């Protein structure tokens, strides 16, 4: 097991600036050499985590935080773990902690926070997001499994290509824009679900308890839809015979490559052709 590697030449000048601005804030930089497809796990219950790619074979985390917080970093072979904890010697209340992290593009990234935000972009490895009220924003993701679980935080996925996507939230709204993949599945108890873009191929299952479901696709025949709401309304904006059924079992003579299953108990379901 390796101890945390801090980049002292980078951290000290920035730390001096932070101290001059506020005696309560500081910045630390952690760096770890990696190879292959590393696993990077970050738990930060007090604030933000942003992850972007690097071409270098290392993981670098720049963390800005108050003196009430202690950052614990650990490396075990090709697995990196960073955890935010309260400093037992400080009586100051914990404030927001900001992680700016760069990882190899193919890294498996696991992000967890109670509040704040989780952001990942331009990555190709598997992603796992866990939050309570935290927002989740992942964009420009390729060839990855994307798993999201929140209590009430909103979820936005943009430009996710060839992905296996699984989103579960109690009350958070879910927005999918240009998300394609073999399997895309979203479950929300009370939140709204919105899909916008060309689905390409694959299977899409969008399920809510009381929230509405809105789907906008650019072409009439770009997908086949099965939609059902027990107590809500189903609104089909496509002409009759273009691959839409409000009850299971109907299919096109020449079905398109994408298939949507839309289910809600009390919410309304709307399917429309997206305007250019």
Question: Could you give the CA distance from residue 78 to residue 125 in angstroms, rounded to a whole number?
Answer: 14
Q: Which residues contact 16 (CB under 8 A, 6 or more apart)?
A: none
CA atoms within 13 A on the CB side of 147: 10
Mapping DSSP to helix (H, G, I), strand (E, B) and coil, where does residue 52 land? strand
Domain ranges of the chain: 1-41+55-104, 126-276
Q: What is the mean pLDDT of residues 143-159?
A: 97
Q: Whole-model pTM?
A: 0.84
What is the DSSP annotation of 192-223? -EEEES---SEEEEEEESSS-EEEEESSTTSE
pLDDT of residue 245: 53
Question: Could you give the CA distance from residue 28 to residue 249 in angstroms, rounded to a whole number?
Answer: 58
pLDDT in tens, 171-191: 999 999 999 999 999 999 999
Mean pLDDT, all residues of the chain: 84
pLDDT of residue 195: 97
149 within 8 A of 168, measured Cβ to Cβ: yes
pLDDT of residue 122: 98
pLDDT confidence bin for 274, thresholds 50/70/90: confident
């Amino acid at each position: 097991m390796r101890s945390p590697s801090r980049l002292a030449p980078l951290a000290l000048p920035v730390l001096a600036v932070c101290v001059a601005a506020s005696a309560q804030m500081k910045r630390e930089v952690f760096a770890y050499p990696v190879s292959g497809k590393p696993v990077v796990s970050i738990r930060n219950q007090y604030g933000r985590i942003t992850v972007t790619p690097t071409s270098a074979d290392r993981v670098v985390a720049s963390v800005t935080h108050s003196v009430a917080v202690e950052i614990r970093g650990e490396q075990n072979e090709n697995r990196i773990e960073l955890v935010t904890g309260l400093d037992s010697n400080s009586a100051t209340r914990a404030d927001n902690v900001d992680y700016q992290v760069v990882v190899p593009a193919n890294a498996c990234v696991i992000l967890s926070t109670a509040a704040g935000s989780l952001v990942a972009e331009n990555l190709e490895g598997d992603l796992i997001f866990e939050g309570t009220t935290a927002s989740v924003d992942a964009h420009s993701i390729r060839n990855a499994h994307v798993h999201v679980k929140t209590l009430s935080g909103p979820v936005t996925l943009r430009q996710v290509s060839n992905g296996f996507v699984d989103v579960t939230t109690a009350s958070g709204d879910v927005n999918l824009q240009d998300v394609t993949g073999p399997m895309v599945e979203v479950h929300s108890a009370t939140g709204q679900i919105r899909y916008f873009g060309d689905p390409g191929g694959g299977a899409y299952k969008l399920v809510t308890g009381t929230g509405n479901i809105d789907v906008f696709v650019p072409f009439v025949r770009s997908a086949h839809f099965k939609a059902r709401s027990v107590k809500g309304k189903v609104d089909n904006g496509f002409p009759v015979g273009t691959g839409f059924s409000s009850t299971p079992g109907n299919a096109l003579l020449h079905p398109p490559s994408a298939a949507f299953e839309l289910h809600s108990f009390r919410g309304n379901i709307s399917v429309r052709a997206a305007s250019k």
